[in-house]
Structure 1
Amino acid sequence: MLLIYISILTAFVLWTIINSLFMPRLSNRSIQGDENGRVSILIPLRDEERNVGALLQSLKKLTYQNIEFLLLDDHSSDKTLNLLYEGTKNDPRFTIIRGKDLPEGWTGKVYACHQLSEHAKGQYLLFNDADLRLSPNAVQAALLLMNKREASMITGFPAFPVSLFLEKLLVPLQHFVVHFHLPLAPANRTNLPSFTAAHGAFIMVHKDSYKYVGGHEGIRETLLDDIDLAKAFKKKGQRVILANITNVVTCYMYQTNREVWNGFTKNLFPGLGRSRFLIWILFIFYGIFYVGPLILLLTGLYAAITGSLIVALFYPYVLIVLQKAWIDIRTNQRVTLSLLMPLSAVAFMTLLIHSMRTGLRQKGYVWKGRTYS
């Protein structure tokens, strides 16, 4: 039985390595030129005073010349708007927009992105979150891959520097889930909506294609704007590429453990189609294959202390660490975090149940001061 278990975990490692080869990587080398046309970088902000300074500094360092920056303040209650005006004065590339009141039937970020798109003059739209930091050549790198693959949309999961305890356990799992659970060949080489992943912090689209698929207006009620926008592109026959963008894009997602908890709570159950069946399948799967190795490891350590070393009991833990380490290396994450994989699985399993219970009890998911059902 243990041999079968080890064989399955070995297969998981091999699958992850092979699957990851079908995710193209944005180049971090210096790329010159702006022959691709005007790019509009669109950023919604709501109570983002902690991010404004670093965000503007990052944007001003971009080397792409034919560019405009549109920043929308979505009814912030802090100093976000004042900091935007102060940080962009005398720079004609920046336009500050004051967001309109949220209409019924829209979610906040989706409506903010929709407003931004209506003001954009570029041939390409790059939707960014306020907690994102771009390397100077990020725009050229995205356009290069977009044109090379003849894609209408490029998206990807950024590099995630983590310092909080829950961050370390949960945030890097985003890369793990994509590299392990999503078959990347059909995701990047077909228009099948069922093979789709996206990250809303970084989405570049061709403006004409964006309008053709209905833009954010067509997904106005969703909490999963990134995935649903990507699916809208695919349903209209537009090519979507999920890329490894960790060389050129960094995201500082959360400032507190509570934000980590609320953020994942908001996304997990809706992201799984509100399917209780999928929740329980994942709960059992991670319990068996990613918490189980920790139990075997502790059993092996106890056996070694009592004088009966059973080496095979250590193999499952080594294999899940290797699987996670491979992904961490490819996504510029600290490899030492792979040692915490069993604890990450426990945190993930706990949040699966919490997100489901929150959704089923119709309490609503709270985010950025708004509550969504």
Structure 2
Amino acid sequence: MILIYTCILGVFLLWTIINSLFMPRLKGTGDENGLVSILVPLRDEERNVSELVQSLKKLTYQNIEVLLLDDHSTDQTLDLLFRYTKNDQRFTIIQGKDLPEGWTGKVYACHQLSERAKGDYLLFHDADLRLSPSAIQAALSLMKKRKASMLTGFPAFPVSLFLEKLLVPLQHFVVHFHLPIGPANGTTLPSFTAAHGAFIMVHQEAYKQVGGHASIQETLLDDIDLAKAFKKKGRKVLLANITNMVTCYMYQTNREVWEGFTKNLFPGLGRSRFLIMMLFIFYGLFYVGPLVLLPIGLYTFMTDSLQLTLFIPYLLIVLQKLWIDGRTNQKMTLAFLMPLSAIAFMTLLIHSMRTGLKQKGYVWKGRTYS
């Protein structure tokens, strides 16, 4: 049984390595060709405004406009936006309208931004994102090379909080392991789709053809649903490894980590209790199980050297995580915490499902969504 178990984990490792090779990286500069509208929704983001604006000012792509929408912030976000963008004609500040019935907050903010945008390309950009100076050229170059109507990717995630270290890098793990990246990037099948809302670049013509954010107004999963909308219209969506040029500082507290993942997991799995339980069992068996085998192997090692084989499952899951962390600019030492990450993920699966089934709603940015 241990041999079969070990072989399965070995296959997981091999699959992850091969699968990751189908995800192209951002590289090169490319020519400046077309106006790019950088669209940033902000709600209570005073902690991010200064570094956000400084990052955008350092971009070397010259043909840009930056639209910043304050979505009824209760802190100093709006005042800081005016202060840090003063006398820079590339920046336009918009005060968001009241949220209509049937819309989620970020989706409506993105919709308002898109209506004001003049660019040939639109970059939906979260406030906690930081771009390298040549990121715009690299993204445009890759889009044109691959003839994609949308380009998205999961940024690099610097982590410092305990829950961040366990959960945030799992976003890369889930994509590299569970998503067949070849079909995702090579076909327009909506079932093979992943996206990250912090960085989504689209061709405006295609965006209008699919109905834009107005076509997904009620969703909590705006990134995935927008990508699916593109694919349903036969438009190519490219998932790229953008970690060398795009960095995201997602959370400031462990509570934010918990609430952020809670609102996404159950809806992201189609509110399927079956899928939740299958994933719970899967991660318990293959990613917590090796941790259980470690002390058994250690205890019996002194009497039976063959029990060294009980260490191999743990080594394999660490190597799998290590491969992904290495490709996504993550701290490599976090790979050794993979069993703890699995336990945290399993706990959140159940919590997200229970929250959804109780119909109390998911809380985010001061708003409650069902």
- Which bin holds the TM-score, normalised by the shorter protein? over 0.9
Residues 201-280 of structure 1: pairs in structure 2 closer than 5 A: 201-280=198-277
Matched, 1:175 2:156: no
1:97 to 90, 94, 97: 94
The answer for the alignment partner of 1:147 in structure 2 is 144
- The letter of the residue matching 2:250 is M
1:307 positional shift: 4.0
Contact persistence 2:22–2:182 (CA under 8 A)? yes
The answer for the alignment partner of 1:15 in structure 2 is 15
SS in 2 for 1:6: helix
Gaps of 5+ in 1: none
Contact persistence 2:30–2:141 (CA under 8 A)? no
SS in 2 for 1:154: strand
1:298 positional shift: 1.7
The answer for the alignment partner of 1:365 in structure 2 is 362
Matched, 1:82 2:82: no
Q: Distance in 1 between matches of 2:56 and 2:170?
A: 28
Q: Distance in 2 between matches of 1:326 and 1:22?
A: 14
2:321 to 321, 324, 334: 324
Matched, 1:37 2:34: yes
Contact persistence 1:32–1:64 (CA under 8 A)? no
Q: Distance in 2 between matches of 1:26 and 1:266?
A: 30
SS in 2 for 1:50: coil
- Calculate percent identity across the aligned residue pairs: 79
2:331 to 330, 334, 353: 334
Gaps of 5+ in 2: none
1:301 positional shift: 1.6
User: 1:182-224, CA deviations, whole angstroms, 9 ceiling, x for partnerless residues?
Assistant: 0001000000000000000000000000000000000000000
1:302 positional shift: 2.0
Q: Distance in 1 between matches of 2:310 and 2:124?
A: 47
User: 1:119-166, CA deviations, whole angstroms, 9 ceiling, x for partnerless residues?
Assistant: 001000000000000000000000000000000000000000000000
SS in 2 for 1:255: coil
SS in 2 for 1:242: strand
SS in 1 for 2:207: helix
1:32 positional shift: 5.7
Q: Distance in 2 between matches of 1:104 and 1:7?
A: 52
Matched, 1:199 2:196: yes
- The letter of the residue matching 2:304 is S
Matched, 1:347 2:344: yes
1:344 positional shift: 0.2
1:308 positional shift: 3.4
1:296 positional shift: 0.4
Contact persistence 2:30–2:140 (CA under 8 A)? no
Contact persistence 1:158–1:249 (CA under 8 A)? yes
Contact persistence 1:33–1:64 (CA under 8 A)? no
- The alignment's C-alpha RMSD in Å is 0.7
Q: Distance in 1 between matches of 2:226 and 2:178?
A: 20
Runs of 4+ aligned residues of structure 1 deviating over 3 Å after TM superposition are: 306-309
SS in 2 for 1:234: helix
Q: Distance in 1 between matches of 2:295 and 2:355?
A: 34
Q: Distance in 1 between matches of 2:295 and 2:55?
A: 46
1:79 positional shift: 0.3
Matched, 1:308 2:304: yes
Residues 43-62 of structure 1: pairs in structure 2 closer than 5 A: 43-62=40-59
TM score, norm. by length of structure 2: 0.99
Aligned residues: 369
User: 1:165-184, CA deviations, whole angstroms, 9 ceiling, x for partnerless residues?
Assistant: 00000000000000000000
User: 1:267-324, CA deviations, whole angstroms, 9 ceiling, x for partnerless residues?
Assistant: 00000000000000000000000000000012112223x5434110000000000000
